[in-house]
Amino acid sequence: MRIIILGGDGYLGWPTAMRFAARGHEVVVADNYLRRHIAMETSSEALMPNPNLQERARLFETLSGRRIQVEIGDCADYRFMERLFTEYRPEAVVHYAEQPSAPYSMMGYEQARRTLENNLNATFNLIWAVKDHARDCHIVKLGTMGEYGTPNIDIEEGWIDIEHKGRKDTFLFPRQAGSLYHTTKVLDTDLLWFYVRTYGLRVTDLMQGPVYGLSTEEADLDERLMPNFHYDDIFGTLVNRFLVQAVAGIPLTVYGKGGQVRGYLNLKDTMQCVELALDSPVPAGKLRVLNQFTETFSVNELAARVQEAGREARLHVEIAHLDNPRKEAEEHYYNPAHSGLLELGLKPHYMTTAVLEGMMGQVVRHRDRIDPAKIPPRVRWKEAPAPDALVQVPAV
């Protein structure tokens, strides 16, 4: 297949590009380095240095013999998106090109506006490029479990049957996100659903939980091919942060009571899920929604697991309860369905102590690069950030 990966420089985009190229697909990655730029602005650089896309693609080709075409440009600019589609005529597109940080989206007006404009414009431009230039193209869109929030009822896989005053219909499951970033994903879903039912587009919305890990078959070829591994408060996801904190001897930063439950998955399973979605295209006029996670844990459970893995690795790991910088339920009901991807053939990599210990071992090799200043949360949902939280660098 000819596949375009939007946001191909990201934590998930780059490993996805290598996976599809390794499987023999024609792969084009597009990215404008927005995440790298925000990382510099907020002093949130990843643990290991990541070569730029051209360098990574060259290295990957040397090691695997597989080519990845690189296009540097802004998906929020329709001229760029239109050129991608007219030039490459993709059969599938994977859309990761979004500002993915909840804390960044809550920093202040400029950051919120940038998140809103980038995420919605990229999705809107993608929809129009497909509608006008590649109508049969299967859009695989990364949504997030956070769109649903934490309702006091079971979360279904995208849709819910409602009976009201003796009549029945099926609707998108109610969404009530906990950050502006997550809310942009809710708005994306509404846009996609409108254009699916109006113009017969084919869309899979992957509602993904927080991802952890730094290893995939292809990333393991060479350290320089690793995904960008963040442990800071802006881009670092919970498990990755805890692993680095454990290695650095910093008490694990549990926010609030730690009863917040989410659905987690290994980076290797993200690769599988996206591949399974692409291998089973949806018919025209259908929005398929799949909840993408393999296990649910509370923050406290994860802290205990990382502590246990630390014991095995002879690290003394302490746990701290910080005042929660976010506005979220710290104790709640959580029971989301997630059978769709298992039915398509997903074989989960579960989070065992051995898996966590293995990842700690990878982090240990880079422990000299850990900057403790990147760990404490700087963004409070209800307050402006500290004046020195943002390191200003000129716009690119």
Closest CB 373 distance from ligand USQ, rounded Å: 14
Which of residues 60 and 231 has its CB atom nearest to ligand USQ in the complex? 231
Interface with ligand USQ includes 260 (CB under 6 A)? yes
Question: What distance in Å separates the CA atoms of residue 248 and residue 372, rounded to the nearest whole number?
Answer: 8
Kindly state whether residue 336 participates in binding ligand USQ, applying the rule CB under 6 A. no
* Binding region for ligand USQ (CB under 6 A) out of 144-152, 187-195, 355-363, 382-390: 144-152
With CB atoms as reference, the residue minimizing the distance to ligand USQ is 146
Helix orientation angle between 353-364 and 238-248, rounded to the nearest 10 degrees: 60
- In sequence order, the 6+-apart residues with CB closer than 8 A to the CB of 131 are 195, 199, 201
Please pick, from the candidates 3, 39, 196, 238, the single residue that binds ligand USQ as defined by CB under 6 A.
238
| Cα distance between residue 331 and residue 209, in whole Å | 18
Residue 310 in contact with ligand USQ, rule: CB under 6 A? no
Give me the long-range contacts of 190-197 (CB less than 8 A, separation at least 24): 191/120, 191/123, 191/124, 191/127, 192/123, 192/127, 192/139, 192/141, 192/287, 193/287, 195/127, 195/131, 196/285, 196/286, 196/287, 197/285, 197/287
Q: Which of 96, 104, 181, 195 is flagged as catalytic?
A: 181
Give which of 252, 246, 367 is closest to 315, Cα–Cα: 246
SS3 (DSSP) at 251: coil
**Does position 100 bind ligand USQ by CB under 6 A?**
yes
Catalytic annotation on 199? no
Q: Does 292 bind ligand USQ (CB under 6 A)?
A: no
- Dist. CA 296–CA 207, nearest whole Å: 14
Residue identified by tokens 């431009």 is 125
β-pair type (202-208, 138-144): parallel
The amino acid occupying position 303 is A
Residue 123 or 237 with smaller CB distance to ligand USQ? 237
Q: Which of 16, 183, 185, 231 is catalytic?
A: 185
CB of 59 to ligand USQ, least distance (A): 26
Active-site annotation holds for 181: yes
Interface pick for ligand USQ out of 101, 118, 216, 228 (rule CB under 6 A): 101
Judged by CB under 6 A, which stretch of 66-74, 77-85, 109-117, 248-256 contacts ligand USQ? Answer: 248-256
Residue 25 binds ligand USQ, judged by CB under 6 A: no
Residue 253 is a binding residue for ligand USQ (CB under 6 A): yes
Q: Supply the minimum distance, in Å, between the C-beta of residue 74 and ligand USQ.
A: 19
| Cα–Cα distance for residue pair 91/134, rounded to 1 Å | 8
CB closer to ligand USQ out of 101 and 294? 101
Classify residue 82 as exposed, middle or buried by CB count within 10 Å of its CB (0-12, 13-18, 19+).
middle
320 φ, ψ to 5°?
A: -120, 145
User: Which position among 184, 237, 270, 362 is part of the footprint of ligand USQ (CB under 6 A)?
Assistant: 237
Residue from 111, 144, 150, 204 binding ligand USQ (CB under 6 A): 144
Token couple for 20: 């599809």
326 binds ligand USQ (CB under 6 A): yes
The interface region with ligand USQ, picked from 89-97, 115-123, 206-214, 358-366 by CB under 6 A, is: 206-214
Q: Token pair for residue 343?
A: 């039915």
Torsion, Cα 292 297 300 305, to 10 degrees, reads: -100
> What is the Cα–Cα distance from 380 to 324, expressed in whole angstroms?
8
Please identify, using beta-carbon distances, which residue of 250 and 355 lies nearer to ligand USQ: 250
**Cβ proximity to ligand USQ, 126 vs 303, nearer residue:** 303
Q: Which of 78, 199, 255, 381 binds ligand USQ (CB under 6 A)?
A: 255
Q: Tell me the closest approach of the beta carbon of residue 145 to ligand USQ, in angstroms.
A: 3
Tally the residues of the chain: 396
Catalytic residues, by residue number, are 144, 181, 185
Binding site for ligand USQ (CB under 6 A): 100-102, 144-146, 182, 208-210, 237-238, 241, 253-255, 260, 262, 299, 326, 328
